[in-house]
Amino acid sequence: MLDSKKYYNVIAKDYTLISKERINYLNAVDDIIISENKNKKINNYLDIGSGDGRRSLKMINSLNPLNSTLVDDSSKMLEQIKSVKNLTIANNSFFDYKTDRKFDLITCLWNVIGHINSNTLRKQFFQIIEKRLNSGGVFYLDVNNRYNITHYGYSNVMKNLKIDFLSPSDNNGVFHIGEGDKKTKVFIHNPFDLTSYVKNLNLEIQKTWFLDYNTGEIKDTFFEGQLFYKITNK
Ligand SMILES: C[S@@+](CC[C@H](N)C(=O)[O-])C[C@H]1O[C@@H](n2cnc3c(N)ncnc32)[C@H](O)[C@@H]1O
């Protein structure tokens, strides 16, 4: 089993193809962020787990932030980025990335926090976000949802619900992605986890969308989609 950094270094060359398989979903997330922030003045933009930077550059071209920072711990993913003006690229884990800057817009897209290995660390991640989000700033992130019946199927979701109800544990969301010797552990959230991360912080979930993983359509219930959040200061 590879850690996240090795896994993304190994699959970096195939990443464009892999992400094309989910392009409707990814575009739907991007469209919401762009339409909500189109006419805002953004001084500092941060994309955490930017990967190949395709989506970060789309945000930059659409929203024209004055300064942008992309952070990713996989060097091979970052090698694919064509730099643009006023862009800082940091090859770090977000936990090791040091800055005094506050950001008006922060994105963390496509289950990046599913690669953080424990509940304690995921809570720490949100403590850092609290420090780095400017007053009036907005943080968007999406995570895969282990109660998504449309994507994972009824019987898997029933198993997930049963184990969460009967034996709640931080390990209940741990699954694997990849194939053969290219595999890594990934945490798939349930629809209640995010509330526990922001509890006791000066952050609040402003809005949650449930987006179909194939079509990107907005759905009414968490049984029908992946989880996409808009988080702001209280
Ligand atoms: C599924 S990819 C998403 C890439 C990009 N956000 C997108 O939507 O195409 C997950 C990315 O998160 C990065 N990542 C995982 N853990 C990280 C961490 N602790 N700090 C920074 N990047 C991380 C991986 O290297 C990978 O590039």
Question: Is the full-model pTM beyond 0.85?
Answer: yes
pLDDT at 83 over 90: no
Mean pLDDT of the chain: 97
What is the SS3 assignment for 211?
strand
As given in the structure block, the two tokens for residue 169 are 């544990």
List of domains in the chain: 4-233 (3.40.50.150)
| Residue 84: band (very low, low, confident or very high) from pLDDT cuts 50, 70, 90 | confident
Place of tokens 């711990």: 73
Q: Is the pLDDT of residue 232 over 90?
A: yes
Q: Using one digit for the tens of pLDDT, what is the confidence trace for 166-220?
A: 999 989 999 999 999 999 999 999 999 999 999 999 999 999 999 999 999 999 9
Ligand 1 atom index nearest CA of 110: 8
Per-residue pLDDT of 104-138, as tens digits, reads 999 999 999 999 999 999 999 999 999 999 999 99
Question: DSSP letters along 11-25, please?
Answer: HGGGHHHHHHTTHHH
Q: Which residues line ligand 1 (CB under 6 A)?
A: 4, 8, 19, 48-51, 55, 71-74, 77, 93-95, 109-112, 115-116
Beta bridge partners of 184: 2, 177
